[in-house]
Chain A
Amino acid sequence: MGLLEKQKTKFIVISLLVPVTLLVAFVVVPGIDLFRLSATDWDGLSRNMKYIGFDNYASMFRDKDLWISLKNNMVYFFVHLLMIPVELAFAVLLTSKLRAAKFYKTMVFMPYIINGVAISYAFSYFFSPINGAFDAILSAVHLEGLIRSWLSDAKIVNYVLSFVSLWRFSGYHVILFMAALQSVPQDIHEAALVDGANAWQRFRYIQIPSIMLMVDFVLFDNIRGALQVFDIPFVMTNGGPGYASSTFTLYTINTAFKFSRFGLAATMAVAIMFMIVLIYFIQNFLIHKVMLREGRR
């Protein structure tokens, strides 16, 4: 038995050695290093860095453009949040009795696997003021009055970009909701039918509770996604005009790799981590303590 134990230990050590080393070196260490860098004035190049305490945190809070960027993230957050009921409805629709359901399921998820850079360029063309397709559609239905410069009007650019984000990511939530809905055993449905529950009651009392876990995940995914919006504005507007469509992550990346202020950027990265955790707890509290308790009254 001693020999076997020895062999086992050898197997475990050899197996885990490389994966754990890689994980520590390239994920855990940089993740923790962000905290250390956030207390320095490092410029990304020089060997020396000065520890400056919480100076970066102070300048982060004073940075007006960063606050504008964060406000833009809120647009993505709320636009996606408002879409969640629609996504859920579509999941119910696609799992119900429906002809060609398989084809629709394929189509609803397709945007998610399409190259994000390519589709961002395609949408730049779609919303372009010169020969843009969207303006052509509006003209075709005699709504020329609504035509705007979609990507350079500071008031609406974030909504346009959020729409592109919706186009890309909504299907992901629909597919997840569908999986959750289909995991409800068929006999529960049948039992409810026998007991005379109508469609709404079956939805409210069987499907909703069974997909609450997935709803939790989707809400969390929405926070994480909204705070980390990056490639759509990066490709379509590069955050412009000015900082009108900048996002927190885009601003952070530019602070580091464009303006070489890695210390300050690390501070913003730390802030992102905190915000994700904080908003998650607030949202959880609102849903489980406030909303669901009201439901019971």
Chain B
Amino acid sequence: MKTLNIRRSFWIQLLKQLLCLAMVAIVVAPIALTLFAAFKTKADMVRTSPLRLPPFDRITLENFKAVLSNKYLFVGFRNTIVILVFSLFFNVMFGTVTAYVVERFQFRFKKVVVSLFFLGMLIPTFVTEIARFKIISGLGLYNTLGAPIVIYVASDLMQLYIYRQFISRISVSLDESAILDGCSYFGVFGRIIFPLLAPATATVCIIKSINIINDMYIPYLYMPKNQLRTLTTFLMNFANAQQGSWQKLAAGIIIIMLPTILLYVFFQKYILAGVIAGAVKE
């Protein structure tokens, strides 16, 4: 009976592994095949099967060189970093303080404030730009890095849920004793609450970085100028310029994918925690 069970669990485990390996194959295939193409010369694109790497002695790095020597890649990289730094800074600052005030204090109009933020989460993303466009251009932000920064800071509200969850787990007596000791409210927030929120801040920063780096729509819509490319819109321009030379585009695809993949590999724990917290609260 026991050996029967062991044998049965072996087959079950094998079946599970096969299912999982099939999943991994589906996930990896499009990335691996793109990588294969990125290593090929133009001639090998036709000569060799797309399912294979070229023969070892014909592997070329020319495609990667072509992408890396494109000056707009670095323009895109720089702009993406600038947008990231400003968006994350203000998102964290406003996110923490808003969540703190809403979670800890009773005040007139609190219901109004809370329902405004709730309403903000219900408004659909893409189509709102039809009305927002007017406001952004009216403020002279069109074709400036200010446009994506303002939009990311104002409209991406998932950090509020993550911070509120976190603050609700911090004991209120901590605030109260600090106030009794003569600490101001700004002091309580700045010196006690904000540092305690560091793990939540890490989660917020990493998830937002991925969303911002990957976003195509806002930069595409508001920053058509060449000097204002982001990594993602750089790839779109690069793709349009490479009509037909897949191997070069493939190298571009791999390079643009790398930053978020690296973030994911190193900070997976924070990313999963944040994504789940963002969903559970809706």
Contacts and interface: CB of A to CB of B under 8 A. Distances in A.
B23 A108 contact: yes
A115 B213 contact: yes
A117 B184 CA distance: 48
Given A23-B154, A98-B13, A175-B276, A113 B119 contact: no
Contacts of B101: 11-12, 15-16
A18 interface: yes
B61 interface: no
Nearest to A9: B107
Interface in B182-226: 184-186, 189, 210, 213-214, 216-217, 221
Given A26-B154, A114-B257, A221-B279, A33 B23 contact: no
Interface centre among B45, B154, B179 (most CB of A within 10 A): B154
Interface in B68-110: 94, 97-98, 100-101, 105, 107
B135 A26 contact: yes
B207 to A, nearest CB: 9
How many chain B residues sit at the interface, stated as a range, is 35 or more
Interface in A168-182: 171-172, 175-176, 179
A93 B20 contact: yes
Interface in A25-58: 25-31, 33-34, 37, 44
Nearest to A19: B94
A31 B23 CA distance: 40
A252 B126 CA distance: 9
A96 to B, nearest CB: 7
Interface in B19-46: 19-20, 23-24, 26-31, 33-34, 37, 45-46
Given A27-B120, A231-B217, A37 B257 contact: no
A276 interface: yes
A8 interface: yes
Contacts of A113: 210, 214, 260-261, 263-264, 271
A175 B272 contact: yes
B125 A228 contact: yes
B103 to A, nearest CB: 12
B271 A22 contact: no
A221 B129 CA distance: 21
Contacts, number: 251
Contact of A115 (B125, B131, B256): B256
26 contacts: A12-B105, A12-B107, A15-B97, A22-B153, A23-B154, A28-B120, A34-B128, A98-B13, A100-B17, A110-B27, A113-B210, A113-B263, A116-B214, A117-B214, A131-B50, A133-B33, A167-B27, A176-B275, A214-B279, A217-B280, A217-B282, A252-B127, A253-B130, A266-B131, A269-B128, A273-B124
Interface string A148-181: 0000000000000000000100011001100100
Contacts of A44: 133-134
Q: In the complex, which of the residues B26, B30, B97 has the most CB atoms of chain A within 10 Å of its own CB atom?
A: B30
A115 B255 CA distance: 10
A24 B37 CA distance: 48
A131 B246 contact: yes
Q: Chain A's interface: helix, strand, loop or mixed, by majority?
A: helix
Given A20-B113, A228-B126, A34 B120 contact: no
A235 B239 CA distance: 10
A7 B185 contact: yes
A119 interface: yes
Given A34-B130, A113-B261, A133-B33, 20 more contacts: A11-B184, A11-B189, A15-B189, A23-B120, A27-B119, A28-B116, A30-B135, A90-B23, A98-B16, A104-B23, A107-B24, A113-B264, A116-B216, A121-B249, A125-B249, A131-B46, A179-B280, A256-B130, A266-B131, A269-B130
Contacts of A99: 13, 17
A115 B260 contact: yes
B50 A133 contact: yes
A136 interface: yes
A272 interface: yes
Contacts of B16: 93, 96, 98
Contacts of A179: 276, 280
Given A8-B105, A167-B30, A179-B276, A22 B150 contact: yes
Interface residues of A, number: 90
Given A8-B185, A99-B13, A99-B17, A125 B116 contact: no
Shortest Cβ-Cβ A-B pairs, 6 listed: A269-B127, A30-B131, A26-B154, A11-B185, A31-B123, A22-B154
A143 interface: no
Given A15-B100, A16-B113, A27 B256 contact: no
Nearest to B120: A27
A20 B186 CA distance: 18
Query: In the complex, which of the residues A18, A128, A140, A224 has the most CB atoms of chain B within 10 Å of its own CB atom?
Result: A18
Most A-side CB within 10 Å, residue of B37, B127, B179, B221: B127
A238 to B, nearest CB: 11
A26 B131 CA distance: 9
Nearest to A116: B214
Contacts of B49: 136
B20 A104 contact: yes
Contact of B126 (A24, A98, A176, A249): A249
